A and B are shown apart, each in its own frame.
Chain A
Amino acid sequence: MAVKGKERYARQMILKDFGPAGQQKLYNAKVLVIGAGGLGCPILQYLAAAGVGTLGIVDHDVVELSNLHRQILYSVADVGRLKADCAAEKLSLFNPDINIIAYPLELSNQNAALIMSKFDIIIDGSDNFPTRYMVNDACALLHLPLIYGALSESEGQVAIFNVSDADGRKVNYRDIFPNPPQPGEVLNCAEAGVLGVLPGIIGTMQAAEAIKLISGTGEPLINQMLIYNLYNNSTYKVNLSPDEASQRNLPSDLDAFLQTDYNWFCGIRATTSQIEELSPGEFREMLFDEDYEIIDVREDGELPEATFDHIRIPLSEIRKQVPAIDKDKVILFCHSGVRSILAGEILQEVYPGKEFYSLKGGILRLN
């Protein structure tokens, strides 16, 4: 492909560090932006304006009135429209010479690798931890450069992951934050509030890092995280380094990635549950101990039927009315080990003196 519209890009093409070669690199680049919200809007607007040849947009949300103070790609007439479609339409008017692909869908571990592998740089403009960890892990497994940006009230973080520095070292999000915080520990923009200009600044920084990285201009934030404070105008830069322990938390390959439940990984039960989980082996040993009550919390009719002695009290029943339980030690199980922990937490609150256990992986893991 050749760069079209030299006049359009003249002001950046005459920059001596960028030049026509930098413009050609931008035109050849394929960049996927995850999220077309506060961060995504300025990222998309500047990259489209700068002439990035192929821009992908993933977002499953619709435009809301409360978005407009910071998501300045949209107008009142767009309220209710899918952001990905709406953004694609506007950007193609801004710059008809580039290829824009809208993905108006929810990114999941089932579709992420397929979509992301069509691009050569990913920019994270998402607004939640499950998506951030999922995008990070996919990029690490697919060896895709990731330009990270995130906000908290009056501050923002920006970094570039999965790009080797001069010593051949590269980092990803898990080298900084190996495990997610508990829900409620960190507030997002909807909960904590944000001045509309902050995502504008941080998103523009992400766009700038993308342009620098693609064109080979300046010193991109490779293996560095920049923290910006809107209120006092301070910036703080931290050098990042890989951590072996964190790397072990990454899914080992794409199959393991497909099996990872990122909502669960970032959910409250993953980190704070007091309910002890039993391995299938431990479970089998305790099955014949008369001191334990064994309860199936699956809904009526769910298969496979357990072949050992047990009673069935569906989670939906436990939620409505906590049942009487005779024994002091209780083992709960379900299909995959998620609902049994939920049930255990409900029961533990009502029966603090009793011991509750959950079969890890559920009945699926027993055979």
Chain B
Amino acid sequence: MNIKILLFGRLTELLGQSVLHMEDVSDTNTLAQRLSSQYPGLAQIKYQVAVNQEIIHGNKALTDGMTVALMPPFSGG
């Protein structure tokens, strides 16, 4: 099972890349927890999650081949 993770805004800088892959992750909460333990700075940052280009509210189950996007808010204008 492979999940593709797309990073946006400051998350790209924080994680040093714009695309990640994660194996064997059952849901979006587990994915977020695993990323936060790998990249401690991430726990301090708010972001919204989309799965296969659909915004989610709460936790969502993941299956092989899904794409998860992590999108922080932007303020600049």
Contacts and interface: CB of A to CB of B under 8 A. Distances in A.
Interface string B1-26: 00000101110000000100000000
Given A236-B69, A237-B53, A238-B53, A189 B44 contact: no
B55 interface: yes
A166 B9 CA distance: 31
A152 B55 contact: no
A206 to B, nearest CB: 10
A187 interface: yes
Interface residues of A, number: 47
A112 B29 CA distance: 38
Contacts of B69: 236, 238
A188 B77 CA distance: 8
A219 B48 CA distance: 24
Interface string B51-76: 00111010000000000010111111
B8 A186 contact: no
Chain B contact residues, majority secondary structure:
loop
Contact of B48 (A150, A177, A180): A177
B50 interface: yes
A126 B73 CA distance: 14
Interface magnitude class on chain B: 20 to 34
Contacts of B77: 35, 37-40, 124-127, 149-151, 188-189, 199
B53 A186 contact: no
A180 B75 CA distance: 10
Given A186-B10, A189-B77, A243 B57 contact: yes
B54 A186 contact: no
Interface in A35-65: 35, 37-40
Contacts of B50: 238-239
A181 B75 CA distance: 10
A179 interface: yes
A10 to B, nearest CB: 33
A150 B76 contact: yes
A110 interface: no
Contacts of A39: 77
Contact of A240 (B18, B55, B74, B76): B55
A151 B10 CA distance: 11
A43 to B, nearest CB: 10
Interface string A138-165: 0000000000011111011100000000
Given A126-B77, A185-B45, 6 more contacts: A128-B75, A129-B75, A150-B76, A153-B9, A157-B74, A186-B73
Interface of A: 35, 37-40, 124-129, 132, 149-153, 155-157, 175-177, 179-182, 185-189, 192, 194, 199, 225, 227, 232, 236-241, 243, 245-246
**What 9 A-B pairs are tightest by C-beta distance, nearest first?**
A151-B76, A127-B77, A150-B74, A152-B74, A189-B76, A243-B57, A152-B9, A39-B77, A177-B73
